[in-house]
Each structure stands twice: as C-alpha cells, then as structure tokens.
Structure 1
Amino acid sequence: MTPAGKVFAKKRELDALRKKVRPGALDGLEHSQRIDITYTSNAIEGNTLTAGETALVLEKGITISGKPLKDHLEAVDHARALNWVLEIASQRDAPIIEMDIRNLHHLVVANSKSEIAGRYADRARYVNTDVGVHNFPAPTEVPALMQTFSQWLGAARNTPQTAFEAHRRFVGIHPFNDGNGRTARLLMNLVLARAGYPPVAIRPEDRPAYIAALEIDQRGGGHAAFDNLLFERLEQTLDLYLDAARQARDSSADATRIIPMRR
C-alpha cells in the first residue's frame, strides 16, 4: 500500500471510531498535540524552550528563568496562530486566500517581530545549503508569486498531497523576512485539518532530514523525500489518535455495560 493509501485507510478508521466515542473524548490528546506542535515548530527554528517549558508558558503564563523573552513571545504567538488555523479549518467550502496567509504570518510574529507581521519581504533572503548559498526570489517578485500561489491553493483539493505541496511552494517563495518556516507548517496543517486530518508536528530530530528534503526540492531534485517524511509523520499522528479513540470507545462500552445483580 502506498503512503497515501495507508494514511487514507487510517483516517477512515479514525472517522468511524469518532462516531462511537462521547463528544470531547479526544480533547486531552488534542490539547497536548497543540502544545507539541508549537514546541516542535519553534524548536526547529532555534527556540530554546523545552517541551515542558513551552507547556508552562502556554498553560500557566510562567516566565522561564534564563530563557530569552523572544522565545516566550514566539511560543505565545505560535499557539494563537495554531488556534486560529484550527478555528477556520471548519470553513471547508471557503477557499484559502492570500489575505488568510498574510494574516497567518501576522499571528506567527505578532509579538516577537511585530514590525514585519503580515508584510512581504523588503530584503533579500538567503539560506546556506550543502551545495552553497541559495537565494530566494527578490522582494519585487514576491507579490506576483504569492498571487499565483494563492490562486493555485484556493482552487486545489484539500488532501495531504496538497498540504505538502503548499508547504514546499510557500518555502520556495519565502515571502516574508522571517517566520516563513513556522507559517509554512501552519499552512500545511490548515489544509490537513480542512481535509479532516489531525495536524502534525515535525520534530527537532527530524530537522536534518526535513531541511535536506526541502533543499533537494529547491534544487529541482523532486519532492519524494519530503512527501515521504511528512506521510510518515501524518501516519504516526493518526496512530496516536486511533489509540486514544479505541481507548475512549472501550471506556464508553465499559460504562454502559449492564452488571448483573447478585441474588
């Protein structure tokens, strides 16, 4: 079975299980996943908060001693952006438009870098790769590229393949001065959520393979490595939800089972 076939089959099983558990049965897992996605996405970009520290910042509003204020602000910004993504994900018939993407970026850096929030790049952007320096499209090219990208995304079907392609294409444009990686991963999760899939985390330990796969795609080497990595993470996420849903189903069955009375 193909990677796409496996995740589709597991999603179908999860959809069926969701109908057999009480409302809210998976809320605990979904809350934990939101914190994990914020932690992992920021960690990939160099944020020094640990998973536990990220949870304290988001759940308790605690300031972690010795950690930069920027790292705290990034955690709060990302969590709010993710909440917004999952709120609008239910609007499955409304196309994702360019203003949605700019608003998403605005939320991602609202407090940590407010001066660039939602504004397209006004300087050159570069990244060091294994084969040298890669430069992204010039700022003057960004508006037209984003218009074309948004038109494609607005017309595309909500599928995992579309989600992964949106991530790759967005990163290839790199339309903002900073925050592109976090915005790309949130945009990917917006498409996944609209397709009925749970959002996925790309973990810090995935970073070498993740960056290498993006670089291969940017060099024209294809997107197979990138898609395979993301299908693996999506399948693992579905396994988490399936396990939680099975436990919730079994608990519901136990609660409703009639216990014979002793005579």
Structure 2
Amino acid sequence: MDIFESDDSSTPLTSDEKNGLKLKWIMLRSELNEAEARNIAKAQIWLYSNKNKDVCSDIFLRELHKRMFDDVWKWAGTYRTSERNIGVVPYQIPLKLMQLFDDVKFWIENKTYPNNEIAVRLHHRLVQIHPFPNGNGRVSRLMADLLMEKLEGRKLYWGNKNLVNVSEVRKAYITALRKANEGDYSDLLEFTFAE
C-alpha cells in the first residue's frame, strides 16, 4: 500500500511534495503517522514554553506548522504552491489568511460570536484556505485550541478521538466541516463541545 495514498477526505500530495519526505526509511502509512505524531508532540512542548504568542498571525501559523512537521517534511512551514481539490489558489493564501486573522480579531473585540464559535470558525476557515501541502486539519485544530486557551483557558473537544486515521469520528468531523462550508456551523460546534 502506498504510504501517500489518501482517502476521500485527505488531500493528495504532488510528486515534489512526496519527495519532501525527510525520513526515507518510512515504508508504511502507520510509520508516517507515528513520525508526524512525535514531531507534533515536540511542537506542543515548544508551544507551552512560549506562552506569549500572537496566535492570529501569518508568522505564527507558519512557525507552528514548521515545528509540527519539520522533522518529517522539507516543506514544513511553507505555503503550498500547487492547486488542490480544496483551498484557495496558492497566490491568494497570504491575503486570505490576513483577512481571516483580521476577522477573528474583530469577532473577539466585538463579541460577534461566543468564544468557542470564534475558535471553530478560525479552524474551519483555515481548513478552507488550506495553506499547506499537508497537515492543514491538524494545524487548524491546534490553532483553534490555542485561541480557546487564550480566550477561556480551555481547549476544544474535537470528538475526543484521533482524527488523523479513518474512522467514524473522522467521517463525522469531515461531514461537519462540509456543512460549515454551507454556513451551518451547528454540527462542527457540537463536535467540539464536551459536556
């Protein structure tokens, strides 16, 4: 089985992006997932040792993605340059991110939505923009968690499961994201709420 084979809800990599894999010993998708998980854990240690961060910035987003994936991918922290089946065209990525971060700051300042909805909308729009070749869902969920921690001192729930592997929980998450594409955030908000 091809370690780069994607399911219906994953974005396929280009040949150049596949060649960006640093760990040439990886032969199985499970090995790739494990290497990325170790790298993400290392990034979380960095996050919690750097408390004063402006989460709503292009610079922070790129640094976070780089720290999450730089042990695994040469292109970590670099915006994609190829078109995808999801996301804006590559040249629009910086502008769309600037608009998103300005919107989030406005929503917070004007209390446009409850804090958890602001975080969910940040997550959803980041996924829609799809700035990186891979890891967009993971970096977007972490960005939403960081914003929630900053606003309320807690993280979102995310179904309390691993959303990287194909599962019923991941399918429900993808369905909620697609519903949010139509402007209905109810399922995504419910998905991130813990009782």
TM-score (norm 2): 0.70
The superposition leaves residues 81-113 of structure 1 with CA deviations (integer Å, 9 ceiling, x where unpaired) of 22333444x438x56321111111111211111
| 1:164 to partner: Cα distance | 0.9
- The gaps in structure 2 that reach 5 residues or longer are 1-8, 11-27, 109-113, 163-167
User: 2:55 & 2:126 partners in 1: Cα distance?
Assistant: 17
**CA-atom RMSD, angstroms?**
2.5
**Aligned residue runs from structure 1 range 1-263, under 5 A:** 69-88=31-50, 90-91=51-52, 94=54, 96-113=56-73, 115-126=74-85, 135-157=86-108, 159-194=115-150, 195-198=152-155, 200-202=157-159, 203-204=161-162, 205-218=168-181, 220-231=182-193, 234-235=194-195
Q: Report how many residues are paired.
A: 158
User: 2:125 & 2:99 partners in 1: Cα distance?
Assistant: 11
User: 1:125 & 1:214 partners in 2: Cα distance?
Assistant: 17
Runs of 4 or more above 6 Å deviation: none
User: 1:166 & 1:84 partners in 2: Cα distance?
Assistant: 22
Identity, in percent, stands at 25
1:119 corresponds to which letter in structure 2? T
User: 2:138 & 2:71 partners in 1: Cα distance?
Assistant: 14
TM-score (norm 1): 0.53
Structure whose CA Rg is larger: 1
2:170 corresponds to which letter in structure 1? R
Given that residues 97 and 154 in structure 1 are in contact (C-alpha distance below 8 angstroms), is that contact kept between their aligned partners in structure 2? no
Structure with greater contact order relative to length (CA < 8 Å, sep ≥ 6)? 1
Higher helix share: 1
Given that residues 39 and 68 in structure 2 are in contact (C-alpha distance below 8 angstroms), is that contact kept between their aligned partners in structure 1? yes
Given that residues 85 and 186 in structure 1 are in contact (C-alpha distance below 8 angstroms), is that contact kept between their aligned partners in structure 2? no
User: 1:119 & 1:166 partners in 2: Cα distance?
Assistant: 19
User: 1:81 & 1:177 partners in 2: Cα distance?
Assistant: 18
- The gaps in structure 1 that reach 5 residues or longer are 1-43, 46-65, 127-134, 236-263
Given that residues 55 and 61 in structure 2 are in contact (C-alpha distance below 8 angstroms), is that contact kept between their aligned partners in structure 1? no
Given that residues 95 and 154 in structure 1 are in contact (C-alpha distance below 8 angstroms), is that contact kept between their aligned partners in structure 2? no
| 1:200 to partner: Cα distance | 3.6
The residue aligned with 1:243 is: none
User: 1:171 & 1:211 partners in 2: Cα distance?
Assistant: 11
The structure-2 alpha-carbon separation of the partners of 1:70 and 1:167, relative to structure 1 and needing over 3 Å to count, comes to: same
